[in-house]
Amino acid sequence: MNAPKRLKIRLPLETPDDFDIASIIPVFHRWIQERTLPGLLIDVADYKHVPNGPGILLIGDEGDYSLDQADGRLSLVYDRKRATGNDLSESIRILFESVQAARHALEAEAELGLRVPNQAAEIVILDRLQYPNNQGTFDAVKESMQAAIASVAEGATIELTYVASDHRRPLTLQLQPEQEMVLA
C-alpha cells in the first residue's frame, strides 16, 4: 500500500501522582539545544490549558512530539508530518523508530518519573484521501500493518482493532500485543 501522507502514534504514560505536565517544558527546550532526538526540532508550544487537549508540544520539521492530554489521559504522541516512507510498512517502521527514540529520552529524564509501558498503542492514519475511515480500509491494511509492527517489535504478535468512529475522523487502530512489546 502507498505511504500515508501523515501518521500519528499515541503511547499511554504511567505518571507519578504529583506529576505536573509543565515540568516537561524545560526538558523539551533542552532536547532542542542538545539535539536529543533525530530531525530538526524547532520550538515548544504550551497548550496545557486546553481541557483534554494537545498538552505540551515539541515542534519539529519532520514531526511533532507531545505529552498529550486527549481523552483525559496523558500519552506520549509522535505526529509524523512529512517523509513517511515509500509504502505503509516503511512508514510504520519510521513512526516506531521515532517514537522509540522519544520514549528512551523521556524515560532517561529520571526526575520526571515517567514510564512508557510497551503494552498498547494507538495509530492514527491522518491521510483520509488514501485511507478513509471505514471497515474496508482497516481490512485492507491490517495484515501489512501487523507484519510491519512485528518487524519493529521483535516479532511480537499484535492484535489490531479498528476504532470505529465518525467516518469524518481519521482511521484509528488500537494495537494490543499478546505479550509486552519490546521495540527495537
**Taking the CA of residue 136 as centre, how many other CA atoms within 13 Å lie in the half-sphere pointing to its CB?**
4
pLDDT tens per residue, range 47-93? 999 988 899 999 999 999 999 998 888 999 999 998 677 888 888 88
- Model pLDDT for residues 119-151, shown as the tens digit of each residue: 789 999 999 999 999 999 999 999 888 888 877
> How high is the pLDDT of residue 150?
79
* Other beta carbons within 10 Å of 17: 5
pTM of the shown model: 0.90
Residue 183 clears pLDDT 60, i.e. is over it = no
Query: Is the pLDDT confidence value at 181 over 60?
Result: no
CA distance 115 to 19: 12
Q: Quick one: pLDDT at residue 146? A: 83
Give the C-alpha separation, 121 to 75, whole Å.
10
Q: Judge whether residue 155 has pLDDT over 70.
A: no
Angle, helices 88-108 vs 135-152, to 10°: value is 60
Question: What integer is the mean pLDDT of 4-14?
Answer: 93
**Statement: residue 15 has pLDDT above 70:** yes
Q: Cell 479498528 sits at which residue?
A: 162
CA 25, CA 10: separation in Å to the nearest integer? 19
**CA dihedral of residues 163, 123, 51, 41 (deg, nearest 10):** -170
Three-state helix/strand/coil letters over the chain: CECCCCEEEEEECECCCCCCHHHHHHHHHHHHHHCCCCCCEEEEEEECCCCCCCEEEEEECCEEEEEECHHHCCEEEEEECCCCCCEHHHHHHHHHHHHHHHHHHHHHCHHHCCECCCCCEEEEECCCCCCCCCHHHHHHHHHHHHHHHHHHCCCCCEEEEECCCCCCCCEEEEEEECCCCCCC
The grid coordinates of residue 58 equal: 515539541
Q: What is the mean pLDDT of the chain?
A: 89
